[in-house]
Structure 1
Amino acid sequence: MIGRVTQQGLQRASLVQLQENISRMAHLQERLTTGKVVLRPSDDPAATVDAMRLRADQRTTAQYARNAADGDAWLTTVDDALGDALTSLRRARDLTVQGANTGSQGPSSRSAIANELRATADSLLEVANTTYLGRSVFAGTSTQAAYTTTAAGTVSYTGRTGAEVLRQVSDTTSVRVDSAGADVFGVDVVDANGELVRDATGEPAGMSVFSLLREIAAKVEAGDEDVSRFLNDLDSRLGAVLGEVGSVGTRHKQVLQAQDAISARQVTLTNQVSSVEDADLAQTIVDLQIQEVSYQAALGATSRVLQPSLLDFLR
C-alpha cells in the first residue's frame, strides 16, 4: 500500500533536507576558515581525547624546556665563576712561590706580595658569592650569600650544606645546577670567639681558601722562611676547583642534551597535534564544492516539485 504524499509533507521534507545541506556547508566552511577538523568535542570525541592528551604533553614539555633553560643559565654562571676562581688561585700560587724566596725579597717586596694575596682573597670571596637572579650559586637552596665575613676576620659559610638546587628536565631526570661552595672554597674551623682554631704549633686546624690566602699573606709579610709549606694546601684547593669544573661540565652537557631532546619532542608533539586537529584543506575545498553543487541541484529540484500557488499546480 502506497501512503499518501501531500504537498505540505513534501514541502516539509524538502526544507529539512535543504537545511541539512546548508548545515553541512556551514560546517565545511567553518573547517576551511579555522583550518581545524576538531572544533568542539562533539565533532570527534576520540580525536578530542587524543588532542587533550597531546596538549597536556606539550604543556609538560614546555615546562621542561623552561627548566632546562634555567639550568643552563645556572650552570653557565657556576662555570664562569669557577673559571675566575682558577685564575685567582693560580695567581695566588705564583705569588706564594715568589714569596717563598725570602732571600731575594725585601720588606717592600714582601708587603706588595702580601697585599696582592689579600686582594686575591677578596676577589675569591666575591666569586664565591656569585649570584644568578638574586640567588647564590654556591649556597645550595639558601637565599643568603654563600660566605660572610665575621667580626673576627674569618669567613663563615652561610649556605645550606647538602641542599641541592635541582631542575627537572624530563619525566625521569633531574640535574643539579648549583655548586657546593663549602667543598670548593672550604670552611673555616673557628672557636666560640670566631677565631681560627690552631694546633700546638700555631697552624690552623682547618680554613677556607680566603683565610688560607690571608694566612700566607701574613707569613710572607713577616718574612717567614717556610711559606712554601702552604703550596700543598693551595694545590688541594686548586684540585677541588678543577674537580668541580669537571662535575659542572658533565651536568651542563646533560642539560644541553636534554634541551636537544626537548626540542625534538616539541616538534613531534606539534606534528601529532596537527595530524589530529588540522583539516586537510585541499580535501575540504573539494568537499565544499561538491556540497555547493549538491545544494544548487537540490534547490533546482525542489523548485520544480514544490508548487507555490494553485495556478502553478494546475499548470
Structure 2
Amino acid sequence: MLNRVTNLTMSANAQRTLQTQQSKLAELQEKATTLNKISRPSDDPAATAQALETRSLLAANAQYGRNIDDGNTWLTAADSALEQATNVMHKIKDLTVLAGNGSLPQSGKDAIANELDSLNKDLVSIANSKHLGRNIFAGSSDAASAFTGAPPALDGLPKSPVERRISATETVRVDADGKTIFGSGNGSVFDTVKKMADDLRAGADVAPWIGQVDTAFKNIVNGRSEIGTRQAQLERAGNVNTELEASLDAQKTGIEKADLGSVIMDLKLQETNYQVALAATARVLQPTLMDFLR
C-alpha cells in the first residue's frame, strides 16, 4: 500500500533535516571555538563521568602535594633543631672529657659546670622549638612549651603524633618524638647534664656520667637519622605526586579537549552537509500551484 506524500509532509521533513544539520553545525562551531569535547553532560554522559572522576583524582593529588610540602617544612624544622642539639651535645661531651682530668683545679671544674648549665639551657630551648607556632617535639600538644619544670619534662599527657597523608595509601609522621630523643624528667639529657654540673661543683668524679652523656648523644643522633629517613620518604612521594599530576592532566585533556585539526575537518564537512541540506530544502519548498500551472 502506498502512502500519500503531500507537499506539506515533504516540507516538514526537509525543515527537520535542515534543523538537524544546523544544530550539528552549531555544535561543531562551539567546539571549534572552545575546543571542549563536552559542553554539557548530555553531550557524552560516559565521558562526563570520566572527566568528573579525573578532576576528583587531580584535586586529591593536589592536596597530597600540599601535604608533602607542609610535611617537608615540618621535617626541615625538626632536622635544623636536632642539628643544633647535636652541636651542643658535642660541646657537652668535650667538656665531660675535660672535666674528667684528675689534675683539674676546683676553679676549672666550676667554670665547666657553669658552661654546662648554659649549654643545658640551650638544649631546653632547642627541645621547645616550634614550627608555625606548634611544638616540634610534643606531637599534637597545644602546650605553650613542650618541656617544662625542673628537671624539664614533657608538658601534660603524651599526645598523638603529627601526620600528613601523602597519597591515598600512605601517611608520614612529620614531628619528632621528644621523649625518645631528649628523655623526660629524671633521666633526661637535661637531668643528666644538670647533675653532672652539680657533681663538678661538689668536686665529685664525673666519670660515671660519661656513659649517660654518650647515650643521650646517640638518642639525638638517632632522632635526626629518623627525620632524614622520613625526608627521603617525602622526596619519593613528591616525585610520584608530580608524575601522577602530569598523567592525570594528560588524561583530563584527552577526555575534555578536542583536537583542533579534527574539529576543523568535521566543521568543514558539516558546513558542506548544511549547504546541501539548504539546497535540497529550497528545491522542496519551491514548487507551488502557480509553478505547476505555468
TM-score, reference length from structure 2? 0.90
Q: Could you tell me which amino acid in structure 2 is paired with residue 127 of structure 1? A: I
Count of matched residue pairs: 293
Following superposition, the deviation at residue 309 of structure 1 comes to 7.1
Deviations 1:17-39 (A, max 9, x none): 22111110111112122222122
Distance 2:40 2:173 in 1: 43
Cα displacement (A) at 1:86: 0.4
Residues 156 and 188, structure 1, Cα contact 8 Å, conserved in 2? yes
Q: Secondary structure at the match of 2:103?
A: helix
CA distance in 1, matches of 2:208, 2:162: 37
Per the alignment, residue 298 of structure 1 pairs with: 277
Q: Which residue of 1 aligns with 2:200?
A: 220
Contact 1:161–1:180 (8 Å) recurs in 2: no
Instruction: Say yes or no: does 1:280 pair with 2:268.
Output: no
Query: What is the aligned partner in structure 2 of residue 113 from structure 1?
Result: 112
Is residue 187 from structure 1 mapped to residue 184 from structure 2 by the alignment?
A: yes
- Contact 2:138/2:159, CA 8 A, preserved across alignment: no
Give yes or no for the alignment of 1:263 onto 2:260. Answer: no
User: Relative CO higher for 1 or 2, CA cutoff 8 Å, sep ≥ 6?
Assistant: 2
CA distance in 1, matches of 2:292, 2:281: 14
CA change 1:313–1:79 in 2 (3 A) is farther
1:90-169 residue pairs with structure 2 within 5 A?
A: 90-101=90-101, 103-105=103-105, 107=107, 109-144=108-143, 145-148=145-148, 150=149, 153-158=150-155, 160-161=157-158, 163-169=160-166
Q: Assess if the C-alpha contact under 8 Å between 1:102 and 1:223 holds in 2.
A: no
Taking the aligned partners of 1:14 and 1:222, their CA distance within structure 2 comes to 113
Partner of 1:211: 191
SS of 1:103 mapped into structure 2: coil
1:229-258 CA-partner distances (Å, limit 9, x unpaired)? 211111000111111122111122112111
The superposition leaves residues 261-314 of structure 1 with CA deviations (integer Å, 9 ceiling, x where unpaired) of 111111111122222222122111111111112222322333333238766665
Aligned to 1:68: 68
- Which runs of no fewer than 5 residues in structure 1 stay unpaired? 190-206
- Tell me how far apart the structure 2 counterparts of residues 314 and 213 of structure 1 sit (CA, whole Å): 121
Residue aligned with 1:169, SS: strand
Aligned partner of 1:194 in structure 2 is: none
Quick one: distance in 2 between partners of 1:96 and 1:231?
A: 7
Distance (Å, rounded) in 2 between the aligned partners of 1:65 and 1:232: 44
* CA pair 122-222 structure 1, distance change in 2 beyond 3 A: same
Equivalent residue letter for 1:80: S
Query: Partner of 1:28 in structure 2?
Result: 28
- CA deviation string 1:66-92 (max 9, x = no partner): 222222221111111111110001111
Partner of 1:246: 225
Greater displacement, 40-49 / 229-238: 40-49
Deviation by residue 1:87-134 (Cα, 9 ceiling, x = unmatched): 001111112222333524452x44432222111111111111111122
**Which amino acid in the other structure matches residue 178 of structure 1?**
D
The residue type paired with residue 297 of structure 1 is: V
Three-state SS of the structure 1 residue aligned to 2:19 is helix
Distance 1:129 1:280 in 2: 58
C-alpha RMSD over aligned residues: 2.2
Aligned counterpart for 1:173 among listed residues 170, 174, 179: 170
Question: Matched residues in 2 for 1:141 and 1:300: separation?
Answer: 77
Aligned to 1:203: none
Change in CA separation of 1:31 and 1:159 when aligned onto 2, cut-off 3 Å: farther
List alignment gaps of at least 5 residues for structure 2: none
Identity of paired residues, percent?
39
CA distance in 2 between counterparts of 1:29 and 1:259 reads 41
Q: 2: CA distance between counterparts of 1:143 and 1:179?
A: 15
The amino acid that maps onto 1:122 is K
Is the 1:167–1:176 Cα contact (8 Å) retained in structure 2? yes
